[in-house]
Structure 1
């Protein structure tokens, strides 16, 4: 089943996110355990997460008209995910709740430096099908931007891209978790391709070189535009026809928890692009949103509104 608006009419969206929804189970440790080692951590914290749901929450909190197409189970974690999206202001009529399925779960260990290690159990995310996307063709067409990641089946991502290209909807692609190589059709649709430094290195095929070199290589491989996130250093933006990326520095903040920071960045970027901003203008907002998100624990609970952004 899916949630519906009161009048049942179709809506136009700034951002439609097609992707994963996970319950985040987070524990903080003084140091990460080595192989075969046990360490004590803090009490377990349950919160709403998943790359798709995170990006939707980030965009919605900033005022973008945002909808999420995802699949959750009819369990307590599914309720947790829906409640988190409602709080952020996301339209939920396209979230599918499957009876008897377990909601996706992410187990997160956060170290004292704020960096994290994550293991994801896909659960209901693995059941989001190409047919689900095809059935939402009118929703894709009514959206300015389609935001995609890779925590759902590859065939579903390909189907979403095919529908978006047919409808003329702009695609923002965050290829995470990173595949060994990226489907050329997905790469050709990405406007932009949003990657961190590790993802840029792997997908560009450049073992040596700078982030700028890798951004140029990814553009040369077919992406319409490329954004490389650089953590606390900000990001690089490279549009089609440009030979040099534009560096956008982020505000200096004290990192408490980096979980979901990349999703906060991507959701903000998609929302601003949907409103007609240039790539560089959108990245300028996104680095501020990403910086704000690392100053508080958790993923979605850390995402700021416009009036909470650092200078």
Structure 2
């Protein structure tokens, strides 16, 4: 394992990225960026990534020193609204240039109107297999970011029909990212079509952590749990031992451990890797794991070395937590390019720490675009249908 990994100084990481990255006053017209363009062939499926799950309308409050006590009202310093749930992951993959399709159920309320338009029009996500249901309202989550973590309150109802009925109508994809605790009936069919399955899983509220829950991994190419989930399901005491146990089940095992970094073993290449996290002051951690998974997916499709995949994923997560609002905090190529140019410029000015970091991220030279790319919206105070229409 390479011991030459590095952390990125917090004052030189995502804080250097402007609100709408990749835009300069006299820049050429902005374009989207496809990091896989040079490797695409006519035989490729129409989608890179297929996702399925519940979309929530998220209201995110930030800048609270603590949670309110019963009967108490606190004012937050920041607030934003954005599509949430599976939209966090769909937006993260789309902003990294992956052709993304989402199978989800939407209501017929104003929240659903705004989320559908944001995901399909602004983010370019294929919703051709998604459905609008009459008389059905959007699920909603209020997320409060405080003390380095978040607390949430959610309301919603089951969809009128299962999403598995809609997945068959989705375009073919190279990768499907799925929830191990969700519907699994359609995984085998996708795997038989040549789609690689990347699975994640959430916290087991039953506290049983039954290893039998991991049985669907037989259809999966990769598994990306966090350290708590990985250790409890594998009955191990460290993330390193957990990732080794999971590597016996899937070709690519990745275990994330928050600020302590990430671990991975890729049996298809024989690589093993550890990468420290990028140390930054987080504004809102919502969706950081989704951004990490999106970046790992891009790196896997691009056939990057495992160390580079982990470093890229760590960087993307660090950029995301500098913004609030899960889905719309996901970095685009403007954010990544601005960070890389800032790091390179600082290194050229003689900063030794920046030079060390630049050397470890040299692979970005082959990834970042050399032209301005389309800016991406951030979470906003309200979904503002009228101002959106007049923009």
Normalising by the residue count of structure 1, what TM-score does the alignment of the two structures yield? Answer: 0.82
**How many angstroms does 1:122 deviate by?**
4.3
| Structure 2 residue aligned with 1:215 | 243
Alignment of 1:20-169 (within 5 A): 20-28=54-62, 29-33=64-68, 36=70, 38-42=72-76, 45-50=80-85, 52-85=86-119, 86-111=121-146, 113-123=147-157, 127-136=161-170, 139=171, 142-149=172-179, 154=182, 157-169=183-195
| Structure 2 residue aligned with 1:190 | 220
Is 1:235 equivalent to 2:262 in the alignment?
A: yes
Question: Which consecutive residues of structure 1, in runs of 5 or more, have no partner in the other structure?
Answer: 1-9
* Residues in 1 aligned to 2:305 and 2:187: alpha-carbon distance in whole angstroms: 22
Is 1:251 equivalent to 2:278 in the alignment?
A: yes
Is 1:282 equivalent to 2:309 in the alignment?
A: yes
Corresponding pairs, count: 288
* Residues in 2 aligned to 1:116 and 1:21: alpha-carbon distance in whole angstroms: 19
Q: For residues 279 and 106 of structure 1, do their structure 2 counterparts lie closer, same or farther at Cα, with a shift above 3 Å needed? A: farther
Is 1:176 equivalent to 2:202 in the alignment?
A: yes
* Residues in 2 aligned to 1:242 and 1:204: alpha-carbon distance in whole angstroms: 23
* Residues in 1 aligned to 2:329 and 2:79: alpha-carbon distance in whole angstroms: 17
**Aligned with 1:93: secondary structure?**
coil
Matched-pair contact (CA < 8 Å) for 1:171–1:190: yes
Q: For residues 201 and 243 of structure 1, do their structure 2 counterparts lie closer, same or farther at Cα, with a shift above 3 Å needed? A: farther
* Residues in 1 aligned to 2:46 and 2:71: alpha-carbon distance in whole angstroms: 51
| Structure 1 residue aligned with 2:51 | 17
Normalising by the residue count of structure 2, what TM-score does the alignment of the two structures yield? Answer: 0.66
Tell which has more relative contact order, 1 or 2 (C-alpha 8 A, sep 6+): 2
* Residues in 1 aligned to 2:142 and 2:161: alpha-carbon distance in whole angstroms: 20
* Residues in 2 aligned to 1:89 and 1:233: alpha-carbon distance in whole angstroms: 34
Rg comparison, structure with higher value: 2
Matched-pair contact (CA < 8 Å) for 2:60–2:324: no
**How many angstroms does 1:295 deviate by?**
0.6
What's the C-alpha RMSD, in Å, of the aligned pairs? 2.7
**Aligned with 2:241: secondary structure?**
helix
* Residues in 2 aligned to 1:293 and 1:44: alpha-carbon distance in whole angstroms: 16
Q: For residues 109 and 77 of structure 1, do their structure 2 counterparts lie closer, same or farther at Cα, with a shift above 3 Å needed? A: same
**Residue deviations 1:272-293 (CA, integer Å, cap 9, x gap):** 3233435443333211111100
Q: For residues 80 and 199 of structure 1, do their structure 2 counterparts lie closer, same or farther at Cα, with a shift above 3 Å needed? A: farther
Matched-pair contact (CA < 8 Å) for 2:129–2:167: no
* Residues in 1 aligned to 2:258 and 2:174: alpha-carbon distance in whole angstroms: 27
Q: For residues 291 and 127 of structure 1, do their structure 2 counterparts lie closer, same or farther at Cα, with a shift above 3 Å needed? A: farther
**Residue deviations 1:150-174 (CA, integer Å, cap 9, x gap):** 68xx3xx212312222212101111
Question: Which consecutive residues of structure 2, in runs of 5 or more, have no partner in the other structure?
Answer: 1-43, 341-391
Matched-pair contact (CA < 8 Å) for 1:215–1:226: yes
* Residues in 2 aligned to 1:11 and 1:243: alpha-carbon distance in whole angstroms: 27
Matched-pair contact (CA < 8 Å) for 1:105–1:123: no
* Residues in 2 aligned to 1:67 and 1:183: alpha-carbon distance in whole angstroms: 26
**Residue deviations 1:246-278 (CA, integer Å, cap 9, x gap):** 102233222111011111111222233233435
